[in-house]
Structure 1
Amino acid sequence: MIDALTLVVAVTALALAAWCGWATYRDQPTKDWHFIGMAVVSLLGIAQLVTGFAQLARGQSPDEGTAIFVAYLLGAAACVPATGFMSLSERTRWGSATVTAGAIVLAVLEVRLFDIWGGGSA
C-alpha cells in the first residue's frame, strides 16, 4: 500500500468526522457542503481501492492475507458513501451523527489496512 495515500484518507476522514460532528453538536442535518466533503473522502477511498487492487495484480501481497485485505479495502471504500445515503433519509442532527460515525470508522479501517499490509512491522 501507499502509506501517504492511507494517511491522506485517514486524515480527511477525521476532518469530515470533526466537521459533521460540529454540525451534530449544533443540531444541524447534513448540508450540501457536507456532501461535497463526503464526495472528496469517497473519491480518495476509491483511489485507494484501485491502488490496492493494482498492487495485488502486480504480485505484491499483504502480510496478513489477501482476502482480509480485500474485505477491508471494500469496506473502506463503501463506508462514507453508505453513511452519506443514510443521512439523506434522516434530515435531522442524527444524519450528521451518522456521517460522523462513518468517517471515524473509515479512519480506523485505514489504520487496520496499514497493519494488514505490513506497515506496522519493524
Structure 2
Amino acid sequence: MLDGLTLATGVAALLLAAWCGWAAHRDQPTKDWHFIGMAVVSVLALVQLVVGVVQLARGEEPQQGTTIFVAYLLGAFACIPAAGFMSLAERTRWGSVTVAAGGVVLAVLEVRLYDIWRG
C-alpha cells in the first residue's frame, strides 16, 4: 500500500485530535470548522480504502491476510465519521473529546494497517 498515504492519513488524524483536544481544553464543543477537518481526514481514509481495494484487485496480497486488512480498512474509514456523529449528539466539550479520541484511534489503525500490509 502507499506508505505516503498511510503517513498522511495518520498525521492528519493526529492533527485533528490535537485540534479537537485543544477545543475540549477550552471547554468548546465541535464547531463547523472541526467538521471540515473531519471531512478532510475522512476523504484521506476513503482514498486509502479505494487504493487498498484496487491493490487487492490487482492481485497484491497483504502479509498478514486479506480479511484482516479489509476489516482494518473499513474500520479506518468509519472511525472519524462515527466520532463526528457522536459529537453531534454531545454538544459539550465532550463532543470535542470524542473526536480527539477518534483521531488517535485512526492514527493507531494506520500504524496497524502498515504492519498488516508489510508484515
TM-score normalised over the length of structure 1:
0.97
Q: Quick check: 1:49 aligned with 2:43?
A: no
Letter matched to residue 21 of structure 2: G
Letter matched to residue 78 of structure 1: A
Q: Secondary structure at the match of 2:62?
A: coil
Q: Quick check: 1:66 aligned with 2:70?
A: no
**Structure 1 residue 90, shift from structure 2 partner:** 0.3
Q: Distance in 2 between matches of 1:111 and 1:58?
A: 23
**Structure 1 residue 20, shift from structure 2 partner:** 0.1
* Mapping 1:2-21, distance limit 5 Å: 2-21=2-21
Q: Distance in 1 between matches of 2:20 and 2:59?
A: 39
Letter matched to residue 61 of structure 2: S
**Structure 1 residue 46, shift from structure 2 partner:** 0.3
Alignment partner, residue 112 of structure 1? 112
**Where do 5+ consecutive residues of structure 1 fail to align?**
none
Q: Distance in 2 between matches of 1:18 and 1:86?
A: 18
**Structure 1 residue 67, shift from structure 2 partner:** 0.2
TM-score normalised over the length of structure 2:
0.99
**Where do 5+ consecutive residues of structure 2 fail to align?**
none
Q: Secondary structure at the match of 2:63?
A: coil
**Structure 1 residue 57, shift from structure 2 partner:** 0.1
Q: Secondary structure at the match of 1:28?
A: coil
Alignment partner, residue 85 of structure 1? 85
Q: Quick check: 1:30 aligned with 2:40?
A: no
Write out per-residue CA displacement over residues 24-74 of structure 1, whole angstroms, 9 at most, x where no aligned residue. 100000000000000000000000000000000000010000000000000
Q: Distance in 1 between matches of 2:103 and 2:12?
A: 9
Q: Distance in 2 between matches of 1:61 and 1:92?
A: 44
Cα RMSD for the two superposed structures: 0.5
**What is the percent sequence identity of the aligned residues?**
73
Q: Distance in 2 between matches of 1:90 and 1:47?
A: 29
Q: Distance in 2 between matches of 1:16 and 1:100?
A: 7
Q: Distance in 1 between matches of 2:14 and 2:86?
A: 19
Q: Distance in 2 between matches of 1:101 and 1:59?
A: 35
